[in-house]
Amino acid sequence: MIYALGAYIILQFAIALWASKYVNSEADYFVAGRRFGLLMVGVSVFATWFGAETVMGASGAIADEGLAGGRADPFGYTICLIGMALFLAYKLRAAEVMTFPDFLEQRFGQRAEITAAILTIPTSIIWASAQLLAMGQIISETAAISLNIALFGGAMLIIAYTTIGGLLGDAMTDMLQGAVMMIGLTVLLIVLIASGDFSFAEIKPEQLTWVISDEEGNPESWLSALDTWMVPILGSLVAQEAISRFLGAKSASIARKGCFLAAGLYIVFGSIPLMIGLLGHAAGFEATSTDSYLPELARQYLSPVMYILLMGAIVSAILSTVDTTLLAVSAIASRNLIDPIARNLPEPRKLMFGRSLTLLAGLLAYGIAASGETIKGLVEIASSFGSAGIMVALLIGLHSGYGREKAALAALFTGAALSFLGYGVPTWAVSLFDEAAAEGMPAWAQGFEGSFIISVVSALAAYIAVAELEKRGVLEGGKKESPAASYDAPG
């Protein structure tokens, strides 16, 4: 297993080194010189989205909660990709931007650009840390070494080859990673069914429910259920990780079609962990943890060669997500935080900044991954924080001329502030002053149901209210016309 993983990593480095020969500018590094065709965009977006939470977290969650555990993966994120195709891909690519804050600067002004960048960078780093943690767990289990050593070694390897190859190198490795994922998961499903221990006929009706109930049998509220759906659908709609891939398309039409292709691949192959979770629960299989459900099942039923293939698939899923996320962070930091301050830098200097920021983002993600949070917990934080206001401002800005700078800023700040409703008051902060109070915190201090929905509606209300004040001249406006407004899809 160690030799197989080592050979796989060496291959990743070889591809990154080859791609680095074609990276001579900021555009080459962050959007691969806009060289991608339909297949490259589709597989690349799919591989980026198909991360550790899909392969590892989803199967365990579905085994515990039934279909309700799959509301995020695969269903919510598939709908999100369709939303990208319908509402973002064509117009953003037509606007010739490298990051979505680039568009916010064109449409609303520099303050909106910088605010969105500051809100986005922390969540992207947390997302990358979740993937690093998953990879560390896999290496730790397969190599029989400590999690700390596995996490450190894996993180350093990913950071190195991502820094070298840029988006072109990542996209090329995604083609390999995507193929390995598809084959590995398909083989596991076939072997499980052929073993005779698992049968679709054994799946119980209660596993097919879409609503989670507590230990006493009381179903969750409709607001909580709706919020669970909306976090992956709307919260991830404006993720730079996926946006950067379709911004590398040769044309706006290819960008949109590539997102549709990615959605199709995601629902097909994302359904395999879903089926494995349902089959495993029906057969009475239990794992030591939710995150290790699929790897433990595979270890028990697959031959050593097939097990290595599947571990390669899971590592592939993680690598393709981490490298893109690190590049997303460095692109936004370089384009939307450094460029406004240090304008007119020569291309070699911009490229140097881009690579340096990729390295820094990787080190920060490693630090968070080593803090001890779970994969699912990290992903939930990364999917919802600050994204409500960004989504409102970006969608309205792309599809209308309604509202100006202060309206966008109102939405961004409102969405970010209300994101904390779901998390409540951190118990560790309260325990610094009173340990007893931390143990007996009231319900309202532990977070609100439907917090993401509340933040979306509030951000939209803030945008509309300030836009009306701008229109009536009460507030000064900024830029108005959308630079992509004239780029309508055919028909």
351 is written with which tokens?
């490229």
434 CB neighbour count, 10 Å cutoff: 10
Which range among 114-128, 129-143, 439-453, 469-483 shows the weakest confidence by mean pLDDT?
Answer: 439-453
* Residues 351-410: tens digit of each pLDDT: 888 999 999 999 988 988 887 555 555 555 555 567 899 999 999 999 999 999 999 999
Give the residue among 401, 409, 353 at the shortest CA–CA distance from 116: 409
| Cis preceding linkage at 74, omega within 30 | yes
427 is written with which tokens?
């118990």
Classify 280 as helix, strand or coil. helix
CA 243/CA 246 separation, integer angstroms: 6
Mean pLDDT highest for which of 80-94, 119-133, 172-186, 380-394?
Answer: 80-94
Residue 249 is given by DSSP the state B
* Residues 291-323: tens digit of each pLDDT: 778 888 888 888 888 888 777 777 766 777 788
- Our separate counts of H helices and E strands in the chain read 22, 0
- Beta strand ranges found along 321-420 (DSSP E): none
Residue 103 pLDDT more than 60?
A: yes
pTM for this predicted structure: 0.86
H-helix or E-strand spanning residue 81: helix 77-87
Q: Any idea which residue has 């490693």 for tokens?
A: 366
Q: What is the C-alpha end-to-end distance of the chain, expressed in Å?
A: 52
Write down the mean pLDDT value for the chain: 83
Q: Any idea which residue has 């083609």 for tokens?
A: 175
Q: How confident is the model at residue 487 (pLDDT cuts 50, 70, 90)?
A: very low
CA 401/CA 106 separation, integer angstroms: 12
Residue 215 CA from chain centroid, whole number: 31
Residue 445 pLDDT more than 50?
A: no
pLDDT of residue 488: 47
| Mean local confidence (pLDDT), 248-267 | 96
HSE-up of residue 14 (Cα within 13 Å, Cβ side): 7
Residue 30 pLDDT more than 80?
A: yes
Residue 442 pLDDT more than 60?
A: no
Contact 212, 220 (CB under 8 A): yes
Classify 229 as helix, strand or coil. helix
pLDDT of residue 421: 63
391 is written with which tokens?
């989504």
Residue 308 CA from chain centroid, whole number: 26
Q: Identity (one letter) of the amino acid at 74?
A: P
Q: 224 Cβ partners below 8 Å, 6+ apart?
A: 449, 450
Contact 398, 247 (CB under 8 A): no
Residue 203 pLDDT more than 70?
A: yes
Residue 99 pLDDT more than 90?
A: yes
Q: Identity (one letter) of the amino acid at 82?
A: I
| Mean local confidence (pLDDT), 276-301 | 86
Q: Which residues pair with 438 in a beta bridge?
A: none
463 is written with which tokens?
């945008």
Residue 83 pLDDT more than 90?
A: yes
Q: Please spell the DSSP secondary structure of 128-146, one letter per residue.
A: HHHHHHHHHHHHHHHHT--
| Mean local confidence (pLDDT), 215-230 | 82
Residue 9 pLDDT more than 90?
A: no
Contact 77, 236 (CB under 8 A): yes
Classify 451 as helix, strand or coil. helix
**Per residue in 80-116, is it b (16+ CB within 10 Å) or e — as a string?**
bbbbbbebbbbbbbbbbbbbbbbbbbbbbbebbbbbb
CA 128/CA 313 separation, integer angstroms: 18
**Integer angstrom CA distances of residue 74 from 46, 66, 179, 233, 275:** 12, 13, 18, 11, 11
170 is written with which tokens?
């990542």
50 is written with which tokens?
């198909």
Write down how long the chain is.
491
Domains and CATH numbers, the chain: 2-385 (1.20.1730.10), 388-491 (no CATH)
Q: What share of the chain is helix, strand, coil (3-state, %, to 5)?
A: 75, 0, 20
